[in-house]
Amino acid sequence: MKEKERTKNISLDSIEESKMSEETKAKLQKISLFAITWPILIEVSLQTLMQFVDVFMLSFVSDEAVAAIGVVNQILIITFVLFNFAAMGCGVVVAQFVGARKPKDVSATVANAMLMNLLFGIFISVVIVFFREPLLGIFDLSPELKAYADIYMLIVGGTLFVQAMIITIFSVLQAQGNTKDVMYVSIGMNILNIIGNYLFIFGALGVPQLGVMGVAISTAVCRVLAMVVLFYLLYLRVEVKIQLRDYFALKGAYVKKIMKIGIPGAGEHLSHNGSQLVITVFITILGTAALSTRVYALNYTWVIATFSMAMAKGMQIYIGQLVGAGLMEYAYKRMYRGLRISLLVAVSGAIILGIFGEFFMGLFTSDPDIITIGAILLMIGVLIEPGRTTNMVVISALRAAGDARFPVIVGIISMWGISVTLAYYLGIYLGLGLIGVWIALLADEWIRAIIMLFRWKSRKWQQMRLVDEEKDTVKSTA
């Protein structure tokens, strides 16, 4: 009798689970990529705007200040990539757990990612503060540029652990579909950052006129305030509340999943930024004007790439949830639709920049050499953008499906074997300067883009799903 009752209960549970699975799949199919992406677009746009505003307002100090902060940001971007190994892995795992309707696993994954990135963030902050002089020494900066770079690196670098927490919570909230929360926080950060920059650069309202130091203080304060707000939002949004004790114990099952995606994903970004760091060293050989030109041109590149970055983030969330729910064919087709839209917007924007390049460069500087070379770089950007956009979108989709190793292997080979090698050969050895460097970037982006498209078409990613329907719910969180 008891055996029959038990069998009956198991059967009912299976029917209920199957019904819930079908409901989840139907719900995911109704969610549009646009609904997930538009708040991310605003959030990414605001992040890009923050960088743009910093550079624009620093240009009132001097071109030297812009060049110095451009060098420091090249170093700090690498630390952001290191933080992303946990945040990115956490985001993908959470998205798949959300698709599979496993809220307990979502909360446990979040707690483990937060602890990992906090400890790592504190370590990186200490390293940046105590070793900033040797790091800046790599670039052989002039005394004036080094003074600007040192103070900025001390203040912003010393608070990098805050950025580690922000990146992680951003990733978690977005993976759960709470993209509007991240958007609102980004809006607040930007408003405060612009106000802070204005006060410290121009000495308004009796505030000390601190220039580069003021921009650094403004950036650090904005991040601290954002972190506090994000912690509050996190506790509002998680379905199963995270207990304080959960932050003090790493659980192997979750750490393994996070690292399976995070380490290769961060490796791909780390390779990219590492190669860009080496290329920046090459550009320092060309002088301060070349450094400033690169910073100005890249700022416009980030503006154009904003939509593609948003689509890539949205794609990672969307594909992750679809794969978690087992909707492989639907995920396959939706990637191509998102890619077509991204290419249309990105290429259109790049063409506008290329046509009016001198006008846009003139907004930053009056130096005729910088304006001329910068305009040429923006024209080359029209050819670069299709490759760059394809890489961002397709790689995010592959990563979301669990296929994280392939992109990083291809990336390392292409970025260092093609981009860095050609940048030196064309830019320095043949004397083409920044134009040669941009041609090297063009070759790298296009070669990787073609390979990534063939990888998606092969459907090998369909065999790499992270969520196991029977084994993934860990008893310790039940």
* Chain mean pLDDT for the chain: 78
Burial of 97 (C-beta count, 10 Å sphere; 0-12/13-18/19+): buried
Model pLDDT, residue 420 = 92
Question: pLDDT tens digit string along 91-149?
Answer: 777 777 766 677 777 777 777 777 878 888 888 888 888 887 887 777 767 777 778 78
| Domain spans of the chain, in order of start | 33-460
Model pLDDT, residue 297 = 86
The residue written with tokens 């830019």 in the block is 427
The phi-psi region of residue 325 (left if phi > 0; otherwise alpha if psi is between -120 and 50; otherwise beta) is alpha
- What is the band of 439 on the pLDDT scale with cuts at 50, 70, 90? very high
Model pLDDT, residue 151 = 82
The residue written with tokens 């950052």 in the block is 193
Q: Are 360 and 300 in contact (CB under 8 A)?
A: yes
Q: Specify the DSSP class assigned to residue 78.
A: H
Q: Are 143 and 292 in contact (CB under 8 A)?
A: no
Model pLDDT, residue 19 = 44
Average confidence (pLDDT) over 380-407: 89
Model pLDDT, residue 52 = 67
Model pLDDT, residue 335 = 87
Model pLDDT, residue 49 = 67
- What is the band of 179 on the pLDDT scale with cuts at 50, 70, 90? confident
* 37 has a pLDDT exceeding 70: no
* 3 has a pLDDT exceeding 60: no
Could you tell me the pTM of the whole model?
0.67
Question: pLDDT tens digit string along 283-331?
Answer: 888 887 888 888 888 878 877 777 787 788 777 777 877 877 777 888 8
* 469 has a pLDDT exceeding 50: no
Model pLDDT, residue 34 = 64
* 426 has a pLDDT exceeding 70: yes
* 248 has a pLDDT exceeding 80: no
Residue 167 to residue 165: CA distance in whole angstroms: 6
Question: pLDDT tens digit string along 181-238?
Answer: 878 888 888 888 888 878 887 777 777 777 778 888 888 888 889 888 988 888 777 6
- Lowest mean pLDDT, pick from 48-57, 253-262, 268-277: 48-57
Instruction: Between 294 and 9, name the one with better pLDDT.
Output: 294
Model pLDDT, residue 298 = 83
Residue 200 to residue 473: CA distance in whole angstroms: 51
Model pLDDT, residue 421 = 93
Model pLDDT, residue 97 = 75
Of 447, 438, 307, whose CA–CA distance to 382 is shortest?
438
Provide the percentage of residues in the chain whose pLDDT is more than 90: 13
Average confidence (pLDDT) over 337-366: 87
Cα 241 to Cα 60, 173, 234, distances in angstroms: 48, 14, 9
Model pLDDT, residue 217 = 85
Instruction: Between 308 and 43, name the one with better pLDDT.
Output: 308
* 455 has a pLDDT exceeding 90: yes
Model pLDDT, residue 470 = 42
Instruction: Between 120 and 22, name the one with better pLDDT.
Output: 120
- Lowest mean pLDDT, pick from 51-55, 277-281, 400-404, 408-412: 51-55
Q: Are 213 and 200 in contact (CB under 8 A)?
A: yes
